[in-house]
Structure 1
Amino acid sequence: MASIDLDKVLDKAWADKSLPEVLDAPVSALKGISDRGGELLQQAVGVKTVRDLAELKYARWAQALAALETRTD
């Protein structure tokens, strides 16, 4: 299982929260995603929370395609 540096991926306000709290947080809890960006994600693909983003089929498809590329290099 890969480890992740939460300070690098979470907004400072969310850095000390539990994993369940982070997963249920708005996507703006992730560094680089503004409140407006979160609103746009919700409008475009129905993503409201970090968990929604993780479960988004389009994100999974993109990850699978990227994984295929690394296997063919």
Structure 2
Amino acid sequence: MASVDLEKVLDKAWADRSLPEILAAPVAALKGGSERDGELLREAFGVRTVADLARLKYVRWAQALAALEESGA
């Protein structure tokens, strides 16, 4: 499993939190994310937390397509 530098992907206020806390956090906990981004994701896709975003089928589909491209398929 790849290592993740939490300081690079999380807002400073969340970088020292536990993984369960981060997954339950609002999308704005992600570096570069805002409260408004969270509102828009909630309105469009029902996403409320970082975990919801990670499990969003559209995100998974896009990741699968990018992985195919990287593998040369």
Distance in 1 (CA, whole Å) between partners of 2:16 and 2:5 is 12
Q: Which amino acid aligns with 2:69?
A: E
CA distance in 2, matches of 1:11, 1:71: 31
Correspondence 1:20 to 2:20: yes
Deviating beyond 4 angstroms after TM superposition, the runs of 4 or more aligned structure 1 residues are none
| Cα distance in structure 2, aligned partners of 1:71 and 1:15 | 32
Write out per-residue CA displacement over residues 11-61 of structure 1, whole angstroms, 9 at most, x where no aligned residue: 011011100000000010000110011000000111000000010000000
In structure 2, what is the equivalent of residue 60 of structure 1? 60
Q: What is the aligned-residue identity percentage?
A: 73
**Paired positions, count:** 73
2:38 corresponds to which letter in structure 1?
A: G
TM-score by length of 1: 0.97
CA distance in structure 1 between the partners assigned to 2:3 and 2:16 by the alignment = 16
**Structure 1 alignment gaps of length 5 or more:** none
After superposition, the CA RMSD in angstroms is: 0.9
